[in-house]
Structure 1
């Protein structure tokens, strides 16, 4: 009886291990680190989202991967395709920027829609990209994105410029 119980526990353990080592539930391809900076009207665009839209085929995936990076307080972003700052698959991309207003509060109750873009959608259309960039194997550094005299959503508070 104890011997059968031990065998059953070992079998369950083996099956659990095999189940846990199966491939991810999505197609994963190699990515490479991509970093850059964004400043808008003289300040780091903290909270802005930089998205890379693929322009070339990404062999090995069912659906195209559009890596995104969130700009930190210093104006720096690192792209993410799957998790963490893992970067982007090699290839050609067009780049867009949106800057959600974190202080926006919709009137009334219920589930609020996403916050409006401080940049009024001007830099968020992949058909009118901010720039084009080719990701290569290894470390990738994007030239600084500097948007001066950008029209900002009325009533939106912007971070202060560093002294």
Structure 2
């Protein structure tokens, strides 16, 4: 009996040891603040989804770049992701760009932007926001985009 007990403990402990040793350290990961919002197109939920991208006003951090974006859900809501789903954005000043490109499953390609590039240029974007480290979650509200 005493021989089996250590084997059971070892069998239960081994997966924990292996799992903890496989954790990847992310030394350059920046803190993030949750950012949510909603997109409507001509007053209705977008179909297909709208791609929402956050572009840093001062340009991308060359030493530790990040890419923050989201796709809208069926109701038009979105939550920006940088490292993990819905984790938000690192501190900084951002502008938003929007694309609505239908995805063709057969060809595995995106079609033309239904907004015809109207909301795709970060330099012309009127949708700005700033996040500081330690800020509470940010709700950007609703962006009513026009298809024409």
Do the two structures share a fold, i.e. TM-score over 0.5? Answer: yes
Native 8 Å contact 1:33 1:88 kept in 2: yes
TM norm structure 2: 0.73
1:20 to 12, 19, 22: 22
Partner of 1:34: 35
1:41–1:29 Cα change, 3 Å: same
CA contact (8 A) 2:101 2:113 kept: yes
1:13-162 equivalences under 5 Å are 20-24=22-26, 27-46=28-47, 47-56=49-58, 62-102=63-103, 104=104, 112-136=108-132, 137-148=135-146, 150-151=147-148
Normalized against structure 1, the TM-score is what?
0.67
Task: Check whether the contact 1:54–1:66 (CA below 8 A) recurs between aligned residues.
Answer: no
- Mapped contact 1:123–1:130 kept (Cα < 8 A): no
Deviation, 1:27, is: 2.7
| 1:66 Cα deviation from its structure 2 partner | 3.0
- Is the CA contact (8 Å cut-off) linking 1:98 and 1:119 kept in structure 2? yes
Aligned residues: 134
1:17 offset after TM fit, Å? 6.9
Could you say which residue in structure 2 is the equivalent of 1:8? none
Structure (1 or 2) with the greater strand fraction: 2
Please state how far the C-alpha of 1:28 moved relative to its aligned partner. Answer: 1.0
- Structure 2's unaligned 5+ residue stretches are 1-14
Assess if the C-alpha contact under 8 Å between 2:81 and 2:88 holds in 1: yes
Unaligned 5+ segments in structure 1 are 1-12, 152-163
What RMSD over aligned residues (CA atoms) do the two structures have, in Å? 3.1
1:29 and 1:57, CA in 2 relative to 1: closer, same or farther beyond 3 A?
farther
